[in-house]
Structure 1
């Protein structure tokens, strides 16, 4: 379990750095409420960006973005709504992004940022 946690933390760190490089401002990481967790919440201009991070050590079982099931997407919508009620950030638009990270042992990790992946 610790290795999986380490892999997930690495993926989220890489994703946050990627989003910041693209000009976004991170406002929350691993935001939790009783209903679940949002990986990264950022501001991109006048848009609130809710970003799901999917990290894998290989693509043996498919691309990381393929792990986003309809129920997971619905949970993200619900959590984003709760976040917005609790944290008014002064933007009206919301976008749902995914950062996919492949971190193969012995290789440089590869990030893919998909803007507006769903929603």
Structure 2
């Protein structure tokens, strides 16, 4: 079992809650959170109209080690596509539009968090 006091875990969970709230405020409906399989994990799955949106959430406390978006490399985007395909198979979804988004959150020690939503990064 993961350490509930791990600062990275706390920051990550905060980011996922903020991202879900942000997406809902933008009119998306969250249909799944933290879905796991042998390939890895999808942070959020949302629906926007007839489109299923698979979201990777990246949260950082600073840009000291780079912008949160930089953590989504081409290899990570390819992995997200494989995870999305696995989610679709497991849930019996055979058709429809899908896309992969990134929600990048910067949560500094002081001041408000910033949220950036990058649409369709995994194409």
Q: TM-score, normalised by structure 1?
A: 0.94
Select the residue among 29, 54, 62 that pairs with 2:66: 62
> What is the count of residue pairs matched by the alignment?
119
- Structure 1 stretches of 4+ moved >4 Å: none
Query: What SS is found at the alignment partner of 1:42?
Result: strand
The correspondence for 2:35, drawn from 6, 31, 36, is: 31
Structure ranking higher on relative contact order (CA contacts 8 Å, 6+ apart): 1
TM-score of the superposition, structure 2-length normalised? 0.91
Q: Root-mean-square deviation (CA), in Å?
A: 1.4
Could you tell me which runs of 5 or more consecutive residues in structure 1 were left unpaired when the two chains were aligned. Answer: none
**Structure 2 unaligned blocks of 5 or more:** none
Q: CA–CA distance in 2 between the matches of 1:12 and 1:65?
A: 15
Assess if the C-alpha contact under 8 Å between 1:46 and 1:91 holds in 2: no
Hey, which of these two has a bigger chunk of strand by percent? 1
